[in-house]
Amino acid sequence: MMELLETVFVRNNLVVAFAVVGITTWFSYWLANRLTAGRIHGSAIAIAAGLLAAWFGGIMTGGSRGVADFALLSGIGLMGGGMMRDFAIVATAFGAQLSELKKAGLAGVVSIFAGVIVSFTVGAAVAVVFGYTDPTEVTTIGAGAVTYIVGPVTGEAIGASEAMMTLSVAAGLVKSILVMIGTPLVARHIGLNNPQSAMVFGGLMGTTSGVAAGLAATDPKLVPYGAMTATFYTGIGCLLGPSILFFIVDGIF
Amino acid sequence: MIIYGVALLSACLVAGMLIGEGLGIVLGVEANVGGVGIAMLFLVLVCNSDRFSALTVGAAGDGVKFWSAMYIPIVVAMAARQNVAAAMDGGALALSAGVAAVAVSFALVPVLSRIGADKDAGADGRETTP
């Protein structure tokens, strides 16, 4: 019986991964609606569940690729590998209208660049405080503070270790969840009550799921304005992280 | 044809990666310099150009949209294959970096909102991918 299961699962590993990730995602969105009334986006719970499963997988198998080291789930390794990740992230740029950027105006564009650079600098500074001095490590943590996708994309491009890339995903996830929960709490204090400030907010925060969920909890009418600038954020992050920002860090250390 | 959109997406990624890799060699660093970002730039330029509309509208566009919608599931898979056990020691670092980045970014919202605040920024709503 076990043998039969293993034969089918291993032979169709990528297909199994689709099904497993689909079930995980469904369960996470159900939890998000049930337990947090949608305050925390289902995607954040799903990613957190992924990290938790990876931790469990690492402990159980002693391997370095999370649940992908279980033979039955080896397809997760392919589905979540660098090639598929880059393919999907590039696809998210589809439909981004350059005219939207014009509508966002100077403040919107400035906020996107400022958001990437500020988050990166803060993340990198925290890494230095924690005693990291290797430029690839400092850069990867800084990029993770930009978003959980800019972290591993940058880390892989500059040859960071797996552990550093994992930390960058975790840092990005913390940021995303914090934006979801924190936005309605601080909205009044940061003047987040009009389209203009929502666009600046989207550009500064950049984490699309965080911005969408955070603004929805604040005022649903503001979501499209925040999403408009946040859409460009990850792209700019992937562009600047493994290039100018890495060179600057490399020059300092 | 859906494959046209998928092929366009692939071509953008390969072109971006080639340029990123080439830049790394030219600049003498062992890195793919901004390859993914360059690929995204290509895709934005292509889908904003009328000349390539055959590759971006209708079924061809669906070929790209499918992969765009697969973004979060792929990130979930990416999370599930991380070396979390080895990264556990750095948990406090990840937490601090995330919290600090959000705190500073929140504080900057009112500052940057002042840029061009007098200008009218009219815009229509648009749904975007999560």
Residues of A in contact with B41 (CB under 8 A): 93, 235, 239
A225, A198 Cβ separation under 8 angstroms: yes
Task: Name A134's Cβ contacts closer than 8 Å, sequence gap at least 6.
Answer: A253
Give the per-residue pLDDT at B128: 42
**In 10 A of CB A182, how many CB atoms?**
18
Mutate to test the interface with A, among B41, B43, B49, B78 (most CBs of A within 10 A): B78
Beta-carbon contacts of A242 under 8 Å, excluding residues fewer than 6 positions away, are: A139, A143, A153, A154, A157, A158, B20, B31, B32, B33, B34, B35, B37
Closest-CA distance, A226 to chain B, in angstroms, reads: 10
Angle formed by the axes of helices A223-240 and B35-47, nearest 10°: 130
> How do residues B27-45 score in pLDDT, each as one tens digit?
888 889 999 999 999 999 9
Q: How far apart, in whole angstroms, are the C-alpha atoms of residue A186 and residue B99?
A: 14
* DSSP code per residue over A168-185: HHHHHHHHHHHHHHHHHH
| Helix axis angle, A98-129 to B91-113, nearest 10° | 140
Q: Are A193 and A225 in contact (CB under 8 A)?
A: no
| Phi (first) and psi of residue A40, to 5 degrees | -100, 125
Give the pLDDT of residue B126. 41
**C-alpha to C-alpha distance for A187 and A191, rounded to whole angstroms:** 6
Contact between B97 and A144 using a beta-carbon 8 Å cutoff: yes
Mean pLDDT by 10 residues, chain B (130 residues): 95 96 89 90 90 88 93 92 87 94 94 69 42
pLDDT along chain A (253 residues), means of 10: 89 96 95 86 90 93 92 94 92 84 85 95 96 96 96 95 94 93 91 90 91 88 88 91 95 90
The percentage of chain A sitting over the pLDDT mark of 70, rounded to a whole number, equals 100
Residue B73 has a pLDDT of 93
Give the chain B residue whose CA is nearest to the CA of A167. Answer: B94
Contacts of A89 by beta carbon, 8 Å cutoff, 6+ apart:
A149, A153, A234, A238, B36, B40, B71
Query: Whole-prediction pTM value?
Result: 0.87
pLDDT score for A246: 96
Which sequence spans correspond to the domains of chain A? 2-80, 99-252
Nearest-angstrom CA–CA distance, A19 and A31: 18
Residues in B closer than 8 angstroms to A167, CB to CB, are 87, 90, 93-94
Q: Which two tokens stand for residue A137?
A: 């490590």
Residue labelled with tokens 């198998």: A61
- B93:A225 CB<8 A: no
- Structure tokens belonging to residue A40: 């925390």
pLDDT value of position A102? 80
Burial of A128 (C-beta count, 10 Å sphere; 0-12/13-18/19+): middle
- Within 8 A of B88 by CB-CB distance, chain A residues are 55
CB pairs < 8 Å spanning A and B: 384
Of B33, B91, B96, the CB nearest to A243: B33
Residues of chain A contacting residue B128, judged by C-beta atoms under 8 Å apart = 95, 208, 212, 224, 227-228, 230-231
Contact B20, A239 (CB under 8 A): no
Nearest chain A residue to B63 by CA distance is A91
